[in-house]
Amino acid sequence: MSEPLILGIESTCDETGVALVRGRELLGDVTATSMDEYARYGGIIPEIASRAHLESFLPTLDAALERAEVDLGEVDAIAVSAGPGLVGSLTVGITAAKALAVSLGKPIYGVNHVIGHLAVDELVTGPLPERFIGLIVSGGHSNLLSIGDIATDVVELGGTLDDAAGEAFDKVGRLLGLPYPGGPHVDRLAREGDPGAIRFPRGLAAAKDRERHRYDFSFSGLKTAVARYIESLQDAGREVPQADVCAGFSEAVNDSLTAKAVAACQAADCSTLVVGGGFSANSRLRELAAQRCQEAGIELRIPPLRYCTDNGAQIAALGAAAVRAGVEPSPLDFAPDSSMPL
């Protein structure tokens, strides 16, 4: 008998994603985004995002079914992001998922969006190993996890004490007057600069904190250091070397992320590191992670760019893993959890 067909629905933030997965095979996925609407506001406007999900959901569903060449009636289970995310955005996806579950008479699984960022790698690279270290880096999260079965056994080793990696990049982008979201622009400029020209602090280096925060991240002190540096030049009427600032800042963030991820693998004797989340599009992160994992004999798995940003495939993949692990479906009255823990 073939494996169950899972419909995955994603609507935590600005992306409406729908995907169909059978086992670990991605049959089709389509993503619509309302990001273009936010450049002029300098940030996501939740009401606009919710409305955009409402408008995009059915066309996205139709397009995904067509791409996968399946009928809605063939779906065996529905997986949907239950959180964390914007409550209005989540509500649209969850309501649509529940309506489909009831009308099709199929089970529904409310899953954790953040874990989905790692689960999606199964669809690309193949089954995940028995145990691995996960690094999730996005606009809202920077987390190190120890993972057995991705649907049932996730242990948080550390997280961000303040800003997430993507958030810190976006804030530095704003300081430099770059368009929103600043992350990709700061990444691009960093490639043109000298990472050694300005040395910014790594954070959490104080001896007393070192052990307790071994796997935690802190980027707000770094962001403040960047702000002070820019201000001091501006006050002196000097030009800000944008590319060098971006390169020095990017080096500090990615040094911290990759050093801690490799240390976590070594401490747990894990030979695989899986990286996911929108920030894993960052070119210096990819480079440094590849270099340090190779030196340490660790296999590095990072999904291709289109599966790093929010998408329905990550939710379908995690739903498929939940079905495989025999997880009970969610009750039909489950609610969105905007700050869902890992």
- Interacting residues with ligand KG4 (CB under 6 A): 13, 138-140, 166-167, 169-170, 181, 183-184, 187, 277-279, 281-282, 309-310
- Residue number with CB closer to Zn ion (106 or 286): 286
CB 201 within 8 Å of CB 229: no
Per-residue tokens: 295: 């030196």
Alpha carbon distance 253, 203 (integer Å):
9
CB of 155 to Zn ion, least distance (A): 20
CB of 237 to ligand KG4, least distance (A): 30
If we measure between CA atoms, which residue out of 76, 52, 141, 65 comes closest to residue 312?
A: 65
What's the CA angle centered on 130, arms 116 and 30, to 5 degrees?
25
312 is in an annotated binding site: no
Which of these ranges, 72-80, 132-140, 161-169, 177-185, lies near Zn ion under the rule CB under 5 A?
132-140
Which of these ranges, 73-81, 136-144, 251-259, 289-297, lies near Zn ion under the rule CB under 5 A?
136-144
Residue type, 266: Q
Q: Sort strands 15-22 and 5-10 into parallel, antiparallel or unpaired.
A: antiparallel
Nearest-CB residue for ligand KG4: 278
280 is in an annotated binding site: no
134 is in an annotated binding site: no
Per-residue tokens: 330: 């969610």
- Return the number of other C-beta atoms located less than 10 Å from residue 152's C-beta: 12
Q: Which of 81, 168, 310, 336 binds Zn ion (CB under 5 A)?
A: 310
Which partner in Zn ion, ligand KG4, none is near 139 (CB below 5 to 8 A by kind)?
ligand KG4
CB of 2 to Zn ion, least distance (A): 30
Phi and psi, residue 168, nearest 5°: -65, -40
Phi and psi, residue 310, nearest 5°: -60, 135
- Residue number with CB closer to ligand KG4 (270 or 281): 281
CB of 127 to ligand KG4, least distance (A): 23
146 is in an annotated binding site: no
- Residue number with CB closer to ligand KG4 (88 or 139): 139
Which of these ranges, 39-47, 64-72, 291-299, 309-317, lies near Zn ion under the rule CB under 5 A?
309-317
- Residue number with CB closer to Zn ion (89 or 138): 138
CB of 117 to Zn ion, least distance (A): 6
CB of 76 to ligand KG4, least distance (A): 27
Which partner in Zn ion, ligand KG4, none is near 121 (CB below 5 to 8 A by kind)?
none
CB of 83 to ligand KG4, least distance (A): 12
The answer to whether the peptide bond before residue 4 is cis (omega within 30 degrees of 0) is no
CB 244 within 8 Å of CB 137: no
Per-residue tokens: 135: 């690094």
Phi and psi, residue 24, nearest 5°: -110, 20
196 is in an annotated binding site: no
- Return the number of other C-beta atoms located less than 10 Å from residue 73's C-beta: 7
133 is in an annotated binding site: no
Give the C-alpha distances (Å, rounded to integers) separating 12 from 145, 287, 317: 21, 29, 16
- Residue number with CB closer to Zn ion (209 or 337): 337
Alpha carbon distance 158, 99 (integer Å):
37
Helix or strand (DSSP H, E) at 158: strand 154-158
143 is in an annotated binding site: no
> Binding site for Fe cation: residue ranges?
113, 117, 310
> Which residues sit at the interface with Zn ion, rule CB under 5 A?
138, 310
Give the annotated binding-site residues for substrate.
136-140, 170, 183, 187, 282
